[in-house]
Structure 1
Amino acid sequence: MDKETILAICYDFDKTLSPDDMQAQGYIQSLGYEVSDFWAESNRLSEENDMDQNLAYMYMMATKSRGKLIVNRERLRLDGSKVALFPGVESWFRRVNAYGAKKGVTVEHYIISSGLKEMIEGTKVAGEFKKIYASSFYFDDDGVAVWPAQVVNYTNKTQFLFRIEKGVLNVNDQDVNSYFTAAEYRVPFRNMVYIGDSDTDIPCMKLVTVNGGHAIGVYNAKTQDRSKVFRMLEENRIRYFAPADYEENSPLEILIKQIIDRTVTNDALERVHFSCMNEMRKETEGISREARHRDDLVNRLEDSTSFSTTHHVIAEMKSVTDWSEAQRNRLFEIALRNDQVRSILHDHDVQRFYEKLLANGGPLAEEVRKLLGHMLSR
């Protein structure tokens, strides 16, 4: 039975699915801050204390709320429910999934974001994702946020791509470090799409791109500022860019459909490749490494296109004493047919090698002996 074809589409959240930072769409204002002032203070906190920027904003969210509001899951999810989404996002998943199913591809959606998991869980599209990887709080017995449970920044985002690749989705599952063969990957990188908007997405974009996947940079269709995606394309971080418009027949939807089509073809070719690999393993099972090495030497001599290569391979062959009958016959055939061997059969090293082979006979031995004798008599 053929392996299921899965395409994993991974999204940043802020300014990828939503036009603004999720915290700036109500939560920051509820603390009595202007959005710009909150981020300025958070960044100063980070710089002055050599602190991760995401830890800094989470600290600010928790501490600046004291006496003003209770930071619990319910509050964060309520704020998440107010987060605006780009046009078409709400129906995007249904449409893309349907197209994938039509083509025989299971499409899965993942969030990989430095934003807050609890807020994303409150959005209208939270149920569309197989997994939401994002920063999150630890809540005490009273349900109040007191400590970061998970912090996702631009570099450790990449670990989640490996989890998706191997199907090891739990953030505490150490099997993500286990060895998997290429055939065992649940979602190989070639079947991944990463959609993001800024520098914080670059490590994921680059990782997906260099491994044969598809990285897409998106920009706000209203502002039409494409400077970031132009730079990312020029630096080979992404392969494509499109406006963050998720409506039906938008450039982004057309691009995703083309990627789904290509995924079908790629997976068909990979199945042929793995079939060839399995056939090779079955045929070579039980054959020793030494026997395979002897076959390799014969192949290299057969493919020789220069006298120097012939001499080099013959030098390696000197130490071999247990040629099989089939290998000896091939070596005789090479002496008769390959000009890069035949023409220098009288050279001392080549002559000595073939004289030793002739001692064991073979169907072509007499013909080679005559050729060698003729060349030596000239």
Structure 2
Amino acid sequence: MVKYPFTMNDTYRFTIALIYDFDGTLAPGNMQEYDFIPAVGKSNKEFWTEANSLAEEQDADMVLTYMARMIQSAKSKGLSLRREAFQESGRKVALFRGVKEWFARINRYGAERGIRILHYINSSGLKEIIEGTEIAREFRKIYACSFLYDVDGIAYWPAVAVNYTNKTQFIFKINKGVESVSDSKLVNRYIPENERPVPFSRMIYVGDGTTDIPCMRLVKNYGGHSIAVYNPEQKGAHKEMASLIQDNRVNHVCPADYSEGSKIDTLVKLIIDKLDLDEKLQKRETIF
């Protein structure tokens, strides 16, 4: 029997994983735009244009070039590159309506039915900034970009770079209960589907755009549920997201409003109810 980093609690019948992108999904815009980019004296357009232009010039990954620009820009302004400085930036990040209360409410809804809800981040943003947000404690694991730090605690090189395609690796890690980013053994080991801590069918992926499409499509195709969210204050955003349903890439589209009674609140609870009934029916089938 494979031993996993976490085990099922006997008080729960099974586990559901709610997996979120961060930028544009739980928070409007990009996390660097709240504090870091203004601190280095650039406009949002200037910073992203520089990072993306560097990627085009060098034929490089855009995630790696934005991380390089963060280090270069901070150094040029004499700003701290310590983990604590990035976490401090995270304290400035604003969240969509209802996000702060969302986790406790959904956890309670699952627990009342004997279901454990685990929340994960799967983001191309910076892990250190997410760690500084007021909701960081809600997540079982934050899979995101991060830096290597030298003996003085100064960021000097990317440790993890998460782009739109390699995001999918973390779906498989969650499926098999592998929480270490560096682990490449257990995640590639054959494990029967019924022994995996979180089957794909019990995953709900929430994302906001093109970088999430591979993950949303993967979860949907394996029997889980994918939800595309959009900023309700952004004109035309709903129409753009609706095309993802037409293209068979997601199951649902909702505004990024996580307050009680909102569309996504009702939808996620319905999915939990469905998975609850599916498990009960499956048990009856095995009995008879």
State the TM bucket, normalised to the shorter chain.
Answer: over 0.9
In structure 1, C-alpha distance between the alignment counterparts of 2:13 and 2:65, rounded to whole Å: 42
Q: What is the aligned partner in structure 2 of residue 109 from structure 1? A: 119
Change (3 A) 1:251 1:170: same
Q: What is the aligned partner in structure 2 of residue 167 from structure 1? A: 177
The reply to whether residue 78 of structure 1 matches residue 65 of structure 2 is: no
Which segments of 5 or more consecutive residues in structure 1 lack a partner in the other structure? Answer: 280-378
Q: Deviations over 1:115-141 (max 9, x none)?
A: 000000000000000000000000111
TM-score, normalising length: structure 2? 0.92
Residue 95 of structure 1 is aligned with which of 105, 110, 115? 105
Change (3 A) 1:265 1:18: same
Q: What is the aligned partner in structure 2 of residue 31 from structure 1? A: 40
Q: Which residue identity does 1:34 align to in structure 2?
A: S
Change (3 A) 1:105 1:75: same
Residue 72 of structure 2 is aligned with which of 42, 49, 63? 63
Q: Deviations over 1:42-91 (max 9, x none)?
A: 00100111111000000000011114201111110000010000011001
**RCO comparison, higher one (Cα < 8 Å, 6+):** 2
Q: What is the aligned partner in structure 2 of residue 203 from structure 1? A: 214
TM-score, normalising length: structure 1? 0.71
* Shift of residue 3, structure 1, vs aligned partner: 7.6
In structure 1, C-alpha distance between the alignment counterparts of 2:144 and 2:11, rounded to whole Å: 33
Q: Which residue identity does 1:32 align to in structure 2?
A: G
Pairs within 5 Å for 1:201-350: 201-224=212-235, 225-272=237-284, 275=286
Q: What is the aligned partner in structure 2 of residue 133 from structure 1? A: 143
Q: Which residue identity does 2:194 align to in structure 1?
A: A
In structure 2, C-alpha distance between the alignment counterparts of 1:227 and 1:41, rounded to whole Å: 30
The reply to whether residue 12 of structure 1 matches residue 16 of structure 2 is: no
Aligned length: 276
Pairs within 5 Å for 1:113-192: 113-173=123-183, 174-192=185-203
Q: Which 4+ runs in 1 deviate beyond 6 A?
A: none
Q: Which residue identity does 1:33 align to in structure 2?
A: K
* Shift of residue 266, structure 1, vs aligned partner: 1.7
Q: What is the aligned partner in structure 2 of residue 306 from structure 1? A: none
Change (3 A) 1:154 1:270: farther
Aligned-residue Cα RMSD (Å) equals 1.6
Which segments of 5 or more consecutive residues in structure 2 lack a partner in the other structure? Answer: 1-9
What SS does the corresponding residue of 1:64 show, helix, strand or coil? helix
